[in-house]
Structure 1
Amino acid sequence: MTVAFKHKVVAMFDFARARRTMVDCQVRTFDVTDRALLSVLEDIPREHFVPEDRKVLAFSDQHLVVSHNIEHGRFLLAPLIFARLVQALELVEGARVLDVGAATGYGSAVLAQLGANVTALESDEAIAERARELAAEFGQGRINVVAGPLAAGYKADAPYDAIIINGAFETAPTALIAQLADNGKLVGIDFDSGAPKAVLIQRSGLATGSRTLFDAPAPLLEEFRAPAKFVF
């Protein structure tokens, strides 16, 4: 496909209709019932957060790679998995949220338009810069994009009422849990057992509890990979 033809295809594509289809055929059918969340998902132009040559794939039911700048790339979670994770946080207006592995900032934009004050954490400065550009356009003035190691979180804006990890982790996100406010919630994909499942971890004082939400295949975030085990 030539470059000119690619641009013609993108120009002809009905993105608004694709967003409605994504919400109606993927998200709603996966037990997402939060009306505010459904409305935001339909309004935010997800296609702006992916590379030009992947715009028509922005609404597919798959994890979508948006950058190859870092090892194993950075991606947007499949819409239905992302939406279920956000719904589980039960956000209220003004909630302080840490968006870990924010990539180009689509999830941060959704959280901000739901009324959250978001710290978008990305480990690659080039991706973070793109997230800043998009946050200025779609973030409602509620997004602070920062660059740094994902597993370390971002203490400067802690404590957080909610934390979302955009991918799977093999090692416990201990540093992130420590940055939760009392009764704060963390959601992500636990890959420790080898069978990835979405989990919700909640802090209560010095104690934490967790529960499984649903099966959720997702790419492993390199920063949360367990050390290799030596076999003798």
Structure 2
Amino acid sequence: MNTPQDLERLRFNMIEQQIRPWDVLERDVLDLLANIRREDYVPAEHRALAFFDMDIPLGDLPGEVMLSPKVEARMLQDLHIQKHESVLEIGTGSGFMAALLAHRAAQVLTLEINPKLAATAADNLKRNGVTNVEVRTADGAKPLPSGPSFDVIVLSGSVARVPQNLLGSLKIGGRLGAIVGNEPMMRAHFITRTSEGQWDTQQPWDIVAPRLLNFPEPSRFNF
């Protein structure tokens, strides 16, 4: 059993040895990771892995994971979320990323396709006093109501291609963050809606992440 002092040492090492070396240097982001208890969002059977540089299993399917700390931290930093903004997350998982988003944003809607994970995430958030997140059991790959609704959309998992329908749900100035591509090479995409029909795309880092369910997969066959 780890003592509180052990947990704080592990948390400090996670930040200094995993997250800072991944160019996560914003003070506000580092402070969040120091103060939000990641271990409270990890399944009990995997709690010893809470601060490891790895994806932590959450459910029965391969893609049901809690992304590694450095990926969550870099995604949070590079989206530049402001206190007045609304956020949509696809892939709630344990609720930890939603908790991070909630401390940067005004309101977070997070969608989780697995009802059991959605219920667990809602319990985790409530238990940790996070009140500005709505956890909804829903398939994030299905079309959203039409019209610009969100300042930020983040995909907590990978997709083969940027979902065009989600881009239409961004307000002007809104940003979408997603990990895009196929193994062994995927890249983080940050797409800003600069004006009606105009987009700016940045692809600043590489990572491989498990797939989100039900998003389209291109054919691997060439004829």
Task: Work out whether the TM-score is over 0.5.
Answer: yes
Residue 50 of structure 2: aligned partner: 58
SS for the counterpart of 2:193 is: strand
More helix by share: 1
Q: Is the Cα–Cα contact under 8 Å of residues 99 and 163 in structure 1 kept in the other structure?
A: yes
Task: Provide the alpha-carbon RMSD of the alignment.
Answer: 2.3
Residue 127 of structure 1: aligned partner: 117
Q: Find the aligned partners of 1:115 and 1:229 in 2 and give their Cα distance.
A: 39
Residue 104 of structure 2: aligned partner: 114
1:48-127 aligned at under 5 Å gives the runs 48-68=40-60, 71-127=61-117
Residue 173 of structure 1: aligned partner: 163
Unpaired stretches in structure 2, ≥5 consecutive residues: none
SS for the counterpart of 1:149 is: coil
Query: If the length of structure 2 is used for normalisation, what is the TM-score?
Result: 0.90
SS for the counterpart of 1:152 is: coil
- Structure 1 counterpart of 2:165, which letter? A
Q: Find the aligned partners of 2:212 and 2:98 in 1 and give their Cα distance.
A: 18
Task: Deviation per CA, 1:67-103: give whole Å up to 9, x if none.
Answer: 11xx424111111111111111111112101111111
Report deviation, 1:159.
1.0
Task: Deviation per CA, 1:122-158: give whole Å up to 9, x if none.
Answer: 1111111111111213353110111111223654996
SS for the counterpart of 1:162 is: strand
Could you list the runs of 4 or more consecutive aligned residues of structure 1 that deviate by over 3 angstroms after TM superposition?
A: 9-13, 153-158, 227-232
Unpaired stretches in structure 1, ≥5 consecutive residues: 1-8
Q: Find the aligned partners of 2:191 and 2:70 in 1 and give their Cα distance.
A: 20
Q: How many aligned residue pairs are there?
A: 222
Q: Find the aligned partners of 1:34 and 1:177 in 2 and give their Cα distance.
A: 26
Q: Percent identity?
A: 28
Asked if residue 42 in structure 1 is aligned to residue 38 in structure 2, the reply is: no
> Which range is displaced more, 52-61 or 132-141?
132-141
